[in-house]
Amino acid sequence: MLLGTILVSARSVAQSTGQVRLLMEPAGTTSYLLDNEHRMVQRELNLLEGPHRFVFWAPERKMLDTTITVVPDRVTEVRIVLRYAEEYISYRDDLRRYERGHGLVRHVPAVVAGAAAIWAGASLIRWGKADRTLSDAEEAYITLADPGDIADLKGKRIPDAKQDFRNARAQFIVASGVFALSAGATWFVRERAKDRQPPTYEDKERIRFEGLTGWNEGPGRAGLLATFSLSIR
């Protein structure tokens, strides 16, 4: 740290300095490598006049290698916008596809099974009602003493009730079959989905960026970065 300060001060004797103000996007996470030596995050810094190489990088973004020329006794404002890395865009698309597919796989069969269960329940209730109607009609035969009513009962009411009973029973069988199939499909799909791993993202730009400085980010290193930056200003 002390050596760095001395170097800058010694060179300042011969050259003037200028201020560089960096407007970086993304704002909070962009760091840069200055003149192939110093990894920094400061937005404003005083530098010796002349060209300086900056390599900007932020997580998930593509590195930007550029030269900024410092004008003495002036503030040079530079706006830096880092574009997303192709790998990240591809990863994001893959992740979106995975999440959409995962959501569909998890929820669609469950929704179908739920709807089928409701349908089966409603069919069961209808079947029960049809059964009671049929039983009532059967019992009515015993109590009726009106020949016309008996003829109507045997010719219309009981056949209609039987048809309703058969329809309700068939509907229940179909609905419960759909429910069983969809419940099985839900279980099967969820079991299969457990094996599917979400896509992972490897920030290759970060590796390249850190390779430029031999920097490995960590708690100790982060402290060193802050200390060095302060000494420059």
Partner 1 sequence: MNTFSRTLLPALLVLFAGCYKDEVDTGSLTNNPFDPEYVGPSVFEMQGTSVQVTFIPGIGNVPQQVVEFRVRNELFLSDVTYSVLLKDLGTGSTAELRQAVAGSHGYSYVRDTIIEQVPACLELRLSNNFSAAKAEVICATL
Edge to edge, the sheet with strand 17-25 lists 44-48, 17-25, 75-81
Please say whether the beta carbons of 57 and 25 come within 8 A. Answer: no
Please say whether the beta carbons of 70 and 15 come within 8 A. Answer: no
Q: Choose, by CB under 8 A, the member of 66, 99, 101, 141 that binds partner 1.
A: 141
Binding map of partner 1 across residues 142-181, x = CB under 8 A, - = no contact: xxxxxxxxxx--x---xx-xx--x---x---x--x-----
Binding map of partner 1 across residues 174-213, x = CB under 8 A, - = no contact: --x-------------------------------------
Name which of 7 and 151 has its Cβ closer to partner 1.
Answer: 151
Name which of 82 and 175 has its Cβ closer to partner 1.
Answer: 175
At its nearest, how many Å lie between partner 1 and the CB of residue 189? 18
124 is a site residue for partner 1 (CB under 8 A): yes
For 86, other C-beta atoms within 10 Å of its C-beta total 11
Name which of 80 and 144 has its Cβ closer to partner 1.
Answer: 144
- Give the total of residues touching partner 1 (CB under 8 A): 26
Using DSSP bridges, classify how beta strands 64-70 and 38-40 pair: parallel, antiparallel or unpaired: unpaired
Name which of 71 and 170 has its Cβ closer to partner 1.
Answer: 170
CA distances from 16 to 20, 47, 50 (A): 13, 9, 9
Name which of 77 and 136 has its Cβ closer to partner 1.
Answer: 136
Which residues are near partner 1 by CB under 8 A?
124, 127, 131, 134, 137-138, 141-151, 154, 158-159, 161-162, 165, 169, 173, 176
